[in-house]
Structure 1
Amino acid sequence: MGTELSNEMSLLFDKLKAELDQQTIQITENITKTVLKVVDEKIQPIIAENERLTREVEKLNKQLQNLDVNARKNNIILHGIPEPSTEKYEDLNALVIKTITDLDVPLENSEINKVQRLGKNG
C-alpha cells in the first residue's frame, strides 16, 4: 500500500507540475502580448511622425532643387578669360561685357546681376 500511495503521489505531482508549466507558458504569452501591445502603441505615433518627416524632407529637397535650377537658369560661364593678379569687380564686369559684346551679343551693364570668378587656374 505504501508504493501505491507513492505512485499516486508521484502521478499527482507530475500532473501538478505539467499544469504549472502550462500556466507559466500562458502567463508568459499574456505578458509578452501585453508588452508588445504597449510598445506598439508607443511606437506607432513615432513611425507616423517619421513617415511625415520623410515626406516633408523629400518635398523640401525637390523645392531646393527647383530653386537651384531657377537661380542658375540665367547664368553664363565663360572659360579662358585672363586672370590678372589684382582685379576689381568693376574691371571684371567690364571684361565680361566686352567679351560678350565681342561675340555680337548685345549686353548692358544693367542686365548683369553679379559677376564672379569661379576659381583661379593652377
Structure 2
Amino acid sequence: MDKDLQLLFDQIKLEMAKQTKDIIAQMDEKLIPLKQELQEMRAENETLKEKLYYLEKHRRANNIILYGIKESEKSPANLMEIVIKKIKEELNITVEGRDINSLYRIGKNATKNEKGRPILLSLVNNWMKIDIMKNKKKFKDAYASEDYPKEVLD
C-alpha cells in the first residue's frame, strides 16, 4: 500500500510539474509581444525626450535671465522701461520695445529681498542677445545669464 501511495504521489508530482511548465510556457508566449511593445515605447519615449529637449532649447535660444534688478516697477510696461534703460546706460546697447518678445519676473513674489526676483528677457532676435551677453560684464549691480533648459542645468 505504501508503494501504491508513493507511486500515486510521484505521478501527481509529475503531472503538476508538467502543468506548471505548460503554464509558464503559455505566460512566456503571452509576454513576448508585451516585451516588444515595452521596448518600442521606451525607444519612442527617448525620441520624444530628445525632440522636447531641442524644442525647449530652441524656445529659449533668444532668452536672457537678468539678476539683481530691484523690484521697483509698478507695471509690466514700467519693468520694460527699467530694463531698456539699464541696458542702454550700462551696456551702451539700444534696445527698443519691438526688440523684446516678452519680459517678466520669474519665481514667487520676493520677500523684502533687496535685489528682487530674476527677470526673463526674451528677445526677438539672437544677434541682440549675443550682443548683450558679450557685454554683460559691464552691468554694475546686475548679472545676465543664458536661459538653459533644466536638463543642461542638472
Partner of 1:53, secondary structure, is helix
Deviation at 1:21, TM superposition (A): 3.7
Alignment match, 1:96: 83
Query: Higher RCO, 1 or 2 (CA under 8 Å, sep at least 6)?
Result: 2
**Greater helix content:** 1
Give the structure-1-normalised TM-score: 0.73
Computed over aligned residues only, the root mean square deviation of the Cα atoms, in angstroms, reads 2.2
Flag structure 1 segments of 5+ consecutive residues without an equivalent: 1-9
Partner of 1:116, secondary structure, is strand
Give the ranges of 4+ consecutive aligned residues of structure 1 lying more than 2 Å apart after TM superposition: 16-26, 119-122
Tell me which amino acid in the other structure corresponds to 2:97.
Answer: N
Flag structure 2 segments of 5+ consecutive residues without an equivalent: 114-154
Tell me which amino acid in the other structure corresponds to 1:90.
Answer: A
2:8 to 6, 20, 38: 20
Tell me which amino acid in the other structure corresponds to 2:41.
Answer: L
User: Does 1:112 find its partner at 2:100?
Assistant: yes
Alignment match, 1:35: 23
Deviation at 1:45, TM superposition (A): 1.8
Partner of 1:113, secondary structure, is strand
For 2:97 and 2:8, locate their aligned partners in 1 and report how far apart those are by CA, in whole Å.
93
Partner of 1:78, secondary structure, is strand
Partner of 2:98, secondary structure, is helix
**Greater strand content:** 2
Structure of greater Rg:
1
Aligned residue pair count: 109
For 2:6 and 2:68, locate their aligned partners in 1 and report how far apart those are by CA, in whole Å.
90
